[in-house]
Amino acid sequence: MRRTPTIGSPELDAATGAALVFKCENLQVVGAFKARGACNAVLSLDAAQAARGVATHSSGNHGAALAYAAQRRGVPSHVVMPENSPRAKQDNVRRYGATIHFCAPNVPAREALCAEVQASTGATLIHPFDNEDVIAGQGTAALELLEAHADLDVVVTPVGGGGLLSGTAIAAHGVRAGIRVYGTEPADAGDAAAGFHAGRIMPPPTTHTIADGLRSGVSARTFAAMRQHVSDIATCSEAAIVEAMRLMWERLRIVAEPSSAVPLACLLERTLDLRGARAGVIVTGGNVDLDRLPWQQ
């Protein structure tokens, strides 16, 4: 993995009242933190399993990450993607030699096609988040963040399926028990926040949130880890995601995808109020269709 840099901006500190450092996983291999979990999972397979290949369903970044991990190990990969995935994410998966299988843009369709692909090829499913090796791998971004900034009070991530949030929270508490970890989610896909507050898993969202990486529901495994290690989960509006994304491009000068902007969106809307805190924010990915930017639509 690349040890990605952290950056900050006085303007974003002023806008949120917090002292923010952004961990740039958009600069990671494949342009997303997902490379961490996928590589850990693929490298943990035994030789016979690995030789039969790996498969997954993914809105894109985990698919690209799995393809990358499989290519590095020299084994085949199969990626089931919704047919409306951003072009940049499709290209990213093809780049690393995966076979793409397109499905309708809903969870049952993608799980069904993935099961078919596994049955016909013998490939091992590497689930995007419901997998302990994946969760452990995702947690390494927080380890690097806390090595570089040992004084952080808080770490904030987006939450979709909960792999990054679980891994981050477990890793952060392994470093120091007193660190608070928050999840952030689009209100339009607010199942994790609702479930966290109700104490039970909510059904996966049906949503067109612009944060296309966060359209999954959580699993029993990630939900349990969040309940144990996460302080709270906040939600934000779609308009705040677009504003936060643009601010990150302008003030941090990085290409961050909409899902990456959800933590800053919650801080701007004060649904997550971290005034006075030193907070690390994981910037999850930078795969965006540059022909269709949300502030131009």
Q: Which residues bind its own copies (CB under 8 A)?
A: 2, 5, 7, 11, 26-27, 31, 88, 95, 246, 249-250, 252-256, 286-287, 290-291, 293, 295-296
23 sits in the region (left: phi over 0; alpha: psi -120 to 50; else beta) called beta
Nearer to its own copies, 48 or 295 (CB): 295
List of residues 6+ apart from 146 with CB closer than 8 A: 152, 155, 171, 172, 175, 176, 179, 280
Nearer to its own copies, 52 or 246 (CB): 246
Nearer to its own copies, 37 or 286 (CB): 286
3-state secondary structure of 125: strand
Minimal distance, residue 89 CB to its own copies, in Å: 12
Nearer to its own copies, 7 or 194 (CB): 7
Nearer to its own copies, 94 or 101 (CB): 94
Cα distances from 128 to residues 36, 60, 134, 138, 285, in angstroms, run: 11, 10, 7, 11, 15
Burial of 185 (0-12, 13-18, 19+ CB in 10 A): buried
Cα–Cα distance, 36 to 144 (Å, whole number): 12
Minimal distance, residue 288 CB to its own copies, in Å: 8
Nearer to its own copies, 6 or 231 (CB): 6
Nearer to its own copies, 83 or 91 (CB): 91
Sheet holding 180-186, edge to edge: 6-7, 19-24, 278-283, 154-158, 180-186, 232-236
Torsion of CA 68, 70, 71, 77, to 10 degrees: -100
Minimal distance, residue 295 CB to its own copies, in Å: 7
Question: What residues form DSSP beta bridges with 155?
Answer: 181, 280
Question: Torsions phi, psi of 22, nearest 5?
Answer: -105, 120
Minimal distance, residue 61 CB to its own copies, in Å: 12
Cβ atoms 234, 272 nearer than 8 A: yes
Minimal distance, residue 255 CB to its own copies, in Å: 4
Minimal distance, residue 289 CB to its own copies, in Å: 10
Cβ atoms 236, 187 nearer than 8 A: yes
Minimal distance, residue 174 CB to its own copies, in Å: 26
Minimal distance, residue 263 CB to its own copies, in Å: 17
Nearer to its own copies, 253 or 275 (CB): 253
